[in-house]
Structure 1
Amino acid sequence: MSGLYSEQKANTWKSDRRIANARLAGMQDPTNGEQQSGYELPDDELDRQIEKFLQWIKTDPARVSQWIQALASVALIGVTLGQLIVSCSGSNQTDKLITAADRNAAAAERFSTSADGIQSGVKDAVAKLNLQAKQLSKGADQTARLAKATEGANSTALESDRPWVGGSVTVSGFEVGSAAVISALFINAGKRSARITSIGIREFPAPSFPADPDTQFAKSGPVGSKSILIPGQVFSTNQTLPSPLTQTDLDLLKGGKMIYFIIAKAEYEDAQTKEKYWTHLCFEYYPEIKSSTNPGFGNCPEYNEAK
């Protein structure tokens, strides 16, 4: 089958060759009978080689089979060599990849070491910052305490320089048939001026000291004043009893059924800071201490206070 195909193929090559020669030589074209101009080519060496090759195939098919097998072996060897070359090239690439991987691993290890160092440095820096923050916090607390102490000292100094208004009460003419005169005396013993906003004095007999003595001032109204009392200055106010004292009044006082009270108060403010203050005074009659030189009045157990 292969010999017939080869012979047919060779005949086709010969026919094509003769047509080509005829066209070049100016001969009539065998395919269409047309006359061509040119020159005639001799039989080509290729025709003889083809004939020889076809003859060889026909006469020695076994040898042809051996040649085909040999060519197949050569082709197989070529393929194997190609695979080997590719394999070697792949091996070299693998070695290069391994080397690159090792370098990357070493670089990663160095980076990790550097990162550890950086992390350690950051921790140290954070620790130092925390220490500084604590020290600053302690410093701030200490500063706050100092500021508070300074403020307290300033407040104490300011308070110590405030106006202080004290007072006393004197009574004269507390006798039967006489209308006694009561005087309240106030003095600024402080270091700054006081602005007097109200001064009042009241007297009244009662079985005991009233629970709310200020109501005594509300009934008849306090003695008003808006004076400035400089340090060391004295201010006084007087009040005369509305009627003479009777023997019955004295007997009630001596028997302890009634107590004669005299109360006074001064309300004022610091002329500099406008802080408000007050002073209360209370005196009561003690018949047992009355004499020709002593009208018989002394301090009450309550109400003598100041702010």
Structure 2
Amino acid sequence: MTEEPLHRVEVTRDIVYAEGRIRVDGQEAVRDLWMDAYLPKGAGEDPLPVVIYTHGGAFHHGSPRTGYRVDGALSTSPEHYCRLFAELGYACFAINYRLGPEEPIASGIGYDEQRVERDTIALMMDRVSIIRQNLGMRPLDVSDPKDELLLSDTVLSATEDLWRAIDFVRSNAIDFGVDPDRIVLGGFSAGAVTSLNVAHGTDAGVAGAFMLSTAPIGLNIFETVREGSSAPRLLFSRANTICPVRSPASKVCCSTTMTSVLTTNSPGFRGLDISIRQGLRRSVLMARSNRLKIASWHLWTGQPVTADG
């Protein structure tokens, strides 16, 4: 007998939360940025805790609704994760953001320019080169200042877009029925990098971030992660760890990162203070003496896997 989910899920699609600048045929243009909202039905009168989920794809492809194949592995779609969160009582928002093929134009919204470290994009060039080749795009050379600016602006634009998505959710907290002080960010690959940048590189003031396959790229977070600080909690797990936990409704195999957030005192976020949070915090602290060492934590090919059937 199939166990019923705690809550049914109401989905609202194509909610425009901001606009973003891009280039089209060399000319500056503006496009809408949108999100999908997954809200639990019958969750009570108290404001809901929030998860804002950012998809992966090496900052070049990916979608809030679908997975994609990388090196033969099929990533679990953000929609599946958001449905799982909503079934357990979270309000979950999956965001669309600007990607590399659009040539995003960063504007500095939400972060201090002094925290920008453009040369850190070298950490992701192996994966970006493969993705660009698969997409039929020209290769990039980060030793070329124009290419470094193009790719770093892509990473920073994603940071800006997530920051503005948080601002939108907070501004509409009453309409969504959510608690603006209980927002956690999450994602994998590029989405994990973006969640880390916003949680620890901006003034977003979120409660925490869970990340699958991440690295410090774009913003310098090494001065914000300190022992005993009140900075947002970081939840971290190995990218290739898969657990047999499934959503009764969506039948999705979920990574240990997401499961740890969901099953520990869910859905109140008291579960953020658990042992798994030590992982990335320790690695960031240790990496101050050797920043490239933390790159080994970013396993680009270790995507969560969609269960069959």
TM-score (norm 1): 0.22
Name whichever structure is richer in strand by fraction: 2
* Higher RCO by CA contacts (8 Å cutoff, separation 6 or greater): 2
Structure exhibiting the larger radius of gyration computed from Cα positions = 1
Name whichever structure is richer in helix by fraction: 1
